[in-house]
Amino acid sequence: MSSPDRTAGRTSVSAADERILILDFGSQYAQLIARRVREQNVYCEIVRHDISLEAVRRRQPAGIILSGGPSSVYEPKAPRCDPGLFHLGVPVLGICYGMQLACDTLGGRVESAPAREYGRARCDIDSDADLFAGLPGHLDVWMSHGDQVTRVSDDFAPLAHTATCPITAVRHRSLPVFGLQFHPEVTHTPLGSTILHNFLTTICGCQGRWRLGDFARETIERMRERIGNGRVICGLSGGVDSAVTAALLYQAIGPRLSCILVDNGLLRKDEEAAVLAEFTHHFKADLHVVRAEERFLSTLAGVTDPQEKRRRIGHAFIDCFKEEAKKIQGVEFLAQGTLYPDVIESGAAPDGPAATIKLHHNVGGLPAELGFELVEPLRDLFKDEVRRLGLELGLSEDLVWRHPFPGPGLAVRCLGEITKPRLEILRAADEIVVSEIKAAGLYRQTAQAFVVLLPVRSVGVMGDARTYDEAVAVRCVNTDDFMTADWSRLPYDLLARISTRIINEVKGVNRVCYDISSKPPATIEWE
């Protein structure tokens, strides 16, 4: 059996001359830059800051963006790119640290700023050409820096300034090198998308030819050629990533796709029924359902530590999946719904950022356990792109827009011991929250909404009787990227309806709390 091909999921972009490379210097906004570029129908990749010139030339980018980062360029071990990058003739845009690095490399000076800038600032434009074409003379921008460029060589022309940052934007007089001290990619810079558009179109010459429809057609054809007459298995979880992966592969190879759904007893209400309806009636895929509730609950009996819960669930899932996979003849490939953030954060991209931020269940584990070759058709897409692709492939809006669900399922939302009665309480309360948010028309505006069953009981009064029952917490957050999140300001009358319904309809609950923590310092999930 051939070994997993980690590069097989790379996109074959028809508009290859419109590829933008984003060099990551450790910025929390690197993925956000990529999303903003793709929103303008230009394909881009995030790569290591120290990518070789040869690797850059192979990709033939139309432009290069240098991200921000937490370092100071004058530190001995500060991350740097190959200086030859600025002499390739390819337009370069440095953002924050990226601007400081470009100026430092090409003869400028960077120092710790006497007045640091964090947050909104007013930027005065000194030259309305190139980056600032068509923009007003004053902009609201988002700053986040302690260092700044204090001097540039005669080769640079300053383009903008703020009250405390005399050189806020620059361009090189002879090289296609530009710099911005502020962050155009964040929403707090309202006209940032226009600045990026000017860089992509006016400076790089991109025409915005990258489309998800093209991606789908090319990926289907590539999967068809790669898989040949082989058979693929794909694990379905009820989430959008695995569903879109399966839908795309079904269009590529039809009945030679077999899907496995492991019902571990930790799914949301009606999750199994929704998957069955989508993949037996709509796509008519070969769907295998493993009903393993008793197996998982037995494995989790008495366990309260969240990490031990995850470990046991992971082992049980692999065992169930392996057992079912052996019943399917001729399987050569395993499909996973790995997305681009998974690839970047796990360090799995060949030229991706150097640091491994997290280990991810979608980029390891099962292929090695099963000995199958891995296919990851979505590994170049972000979550919002996957949702749009799912709609293009014919998946229902209910499935495509379902809120994210953790791999261990309700186990990490059932704090303390996991039992079937406690899971039923949690499932019923969770369904009420989701249904009320949908009825209020706020489901899509809310990135994630769910209930946590707390490991405590509280005193209450119902009728004339004293109760001592379960307490639940409602968690609703708004976020674009799930790296940071803020709690959702739901209307009080909606929260009141949710609380009243849970207490009245879910037997065993007498108290409802609302989680108003942001991420950071809290996480979205409680465990």
pLDDT in tens, 427-482: 999 999 999 999 999 999 999 999 999 999 998 887 778 888 999 999 999 987 67
Q: Give catalytic status of residue 87 as yes or no.
A: no
Residue in 44, 96, 204, 320 annotated catalytic: 96
Residue in 49, 172, 183, 360 annotated catalytic: 183
pLDDT at 407: 79
Indicate the DSSP class of residue 519. Answer: B
pLDDT at 351: 55
pLDDT mean for each 10 residues of the chain (527 residues): 34 60 88 89 90 94 94 91 96 96 92 75 91 94 85 91 91 96 90 96 93 86 92 86 91 92 90 83 83 94 91 89 89 86 58 42 51 86 86 87 86 94 96 97 95 93 82 93 83 98 95 93 88
pLDDT at 3: 34
Q: Position of tokens 């090198």?
A: 177
pLDDT at 366: 54
pLDDT at 363: 37
**pLDDT tens profile 397-407:** 888 888 988 87
Residue in 185, 278, 376, 527 annotated catalytic: 185
Please, is 294 exposed, middle or buried when counting C-beta atoms within 10 Å of its C-beta (0-12, 13-18, 19+)? exposed
Q: Could you tell me the domains of the chain?
A: 16-203 (3.40.50.880), 212-400 (3.40.50.620), 413-514 (3.30.300.10)
pLDDT at 237: 80
Q: Give catalytic status of residue 18 as yes or no.
A: no
d(CA 90, CA 286): 49
Exposure string for 244-257, b = 16+ CB within 10 A, e = fewer: bbbbbbbbbbeebb
Question: What is the enclosing helix (H) or strand (E) of 214?
Answer: helix 212-227
pLDDT at 28: 75
The closest of 450, 524, 514, 512 to 486, measured between CA atoms, is 524
Output the pTM of the full model. Answer: 0.70
pLDDT at 5: 36
Torsion angle (degrees, nearest 10) of CA 123, 128, 132, 136: 60
Q: Give catalytic status of residue 272 as yes or no.
A: no
pLDDT at 302: 93
